[in-house]
Structure 1
Amino acid sequence: MTRNLKSIAAVSALALVATAGVTHATDFKPKQKGTFVVAARVTTVAPDESGDIKTAAGADSGLSVDVNNSTVPTLGFTYFFTDHVAVEGILGTSKHQIKAVGPSTDVEVHETWVLPPVVTLQYHFNPAGKVSPYVGAGVNYMDWYGGKDQNGFKVRLKSGAGTALQAGVDVALQGPWSLNLDVKKVFYKTDAKINDGALVSKVKLDPVVASVGIAYRF
């Protein structure tokens, strides 16, 4: 959890620095029905993972799953059905190192990529304002690919769907440009099989997805 908070704090600090001096922007294009927005962001995916590793018979091995954070570029696409209601889809892919950890164990077992598209329905509170916050909720799908086993382990992760909550804010810059700060909490679980099922784990990942970027309104 401390690792997650540090990642989110770093993204938030970057956003605050970028926001300084732009809240008095003039000649900006407000959000409204029919607006299409493309956002280019830097995103940190910070899993809040938990998952005990057990034998096939259900005995506790004393180990648990650890998944590292990943910072990557992402794109967001938003369309406004009304002045206040919009739908957003995000595209990006992140790389994660998976470890088995315990009192005297810290071993890398698998390196993998995940494609985690998220689609949310949003409500924008102040679409015509220079500072325009929003909230959203939706669904996601975690598609694991490009896995590389390590240190003699064979790991397989099950792809699947989850849900997401979202909060963010757009800060007007100039014309159609704005600064975007966005945080999503994704709720997702997966089944992991190690060494053809000799070891198994039901892993709760529940990542925080924190982003800062620049958006353009069409």
Structure 2
Amino acid sequence: MKHRVSIIAMLTALSWAGPSIAQPVAQPDAFARLGIARIKLADEGKIFLNGTRDPAAGYTTPEKWVANIELGYFVLDTVAIQFAGTTPATTPNKPAGSLEAVPNLGNDKFSIFTLTGTYHPLRGGPVSPYVGAGVALQHVWSLEDEFASNLQVDDAWGPVVQAGAEVAISDRFGIYVDVKKAFYKADASADIGPNRITAVAELDPLILQAGALVRF
């Protein structure tokens, strides 16, 4: 009988404590996130040799791992504006398909910046998922010729969608996972001897990241 009473008392206490644990916790409006991000470009597009399209030609770029920094502010209770940027990544531009035998044309160093609005329906809970959308910019910092000369890769920008979740460690600290998918094209060109190669590259990067966050 004593054990039964103890169990009933414990369950009663948990039933009273449960709702309070699940209640959203007030959090500061500003936050910063620092994480590791994996960038993979789509490696699609149209390749032209001396102005004539080669439908069998393509190109490849490797995935890149970079740091990602993001700052945000809640302009409404569940709506935030977030600005993020990656540290520079250097990627080779290797022809593929019918041009597979051609060595790396050259390297470009770039960063990706995003400005998004995000909706956090469960803000303040132990797990806070969110979705958002905005605009992304891929900025080329520098170019380096290798097999080709006069390598040129333009900046590109376009829409981006975003989704993720934050897990609270305290009212100020937490961890997060995030995925972004952007959609844009960039013009690129290079010279191989007397031949001119141009491309309309569909970059469409996929950015996966995870890291830590602090609210202030």
Same structural fold, with TM-score higher than 0.5 when normalized by the shorter chain = yes
Residue in 1 that maps onto 2:42? 48
CA displacement at 1:30 relative to structure 2: 4.1
Task: Pick the aligned partner of 1:207 from 191, 205, 208.
Answer: 205
Residue in 2 that maps onto 1:186? 182
What do the CA deviations read for 1:114-142 (whole angstroms, capped 9, x no partner)?
Answer: 12210000000100211000000000111
CA displacement at 1:153 relative to structure 2: 3.8
What do the CA deviations read for 1:136-183 (whole angstroms, capped 9, x no partner)?
Answer: 000011111221111244320111321100000000113411111010
Structure 1-normalised TM-score?
A: 0.80
Residue in 2 that maps onto 1:99? 94
Q: CA RMSD in A?
A: 2.2
The structure with the larger Rg is 2
Structure 2-normalised TM-score?
A: 0.81
- Separation in 2, partners of 1:106, 1:76: 39
- Which runs of 5 or more structure 1 residues have no equivalent in the other structure? 1-25
- Do 2:26 and 2:171's aligned partners in 1 also have CA atoms closer than 8 Å? no
- Do 1:48 and 1:206's aligned partners in 2 also have CA atoms closer than 8 Å? yes
CA displacement at 1:215 relative to structure 2: 0.2
Are residue 57 (structure 1) and residue 45 (structure 2) matched? no
- Do 1:130 and 1:171's aligned partners in 2 also have CA atoms closer than 8 Å? yes
- Which runs of 5 or more structure 2 residues have no equivalent in the other structure? 1-20
**Cα distance change on mapping 1:124 and 1:172 into 2, 3 Å:** same
Percent identical residues:
25
Residues 131-210 of structure 1: pairs in structure 2 closer than 5 A = 131-195=127-191, 198-210=196-208
CA displacement at 1:76 relative to structure 2: 0.6
- Separation in 1, partners of 2:179, 2:114: 12
- Do 1:183 and 1:209's aligned partners in 2 also have CA atoms closer than 8 Å? yes
Task: Pick the aligned partner of 1:37 from 31, 34, 37.
Answer: 31
- Do 1:170 and 1:178's aligned partners in 2 also have CA atoms closer than 8 Å? yes
- 1:43 alignment partner AA: A
**Cα distance change on mapping 1:133 and 1:61 into 2, 3 Å:** closer
CA displacement at 1:31 relative to structure 2: 6.1
Aligned residue pair count: 191
- Do 2:106 and 2:148's aligned partners in 1 also have CA atoms closer than 8 Å? no
Residues 8-87 of structure 1: pairs in structure 2 closer than 5 A = 30=25, 35-60=29-54, 62-87=56-81
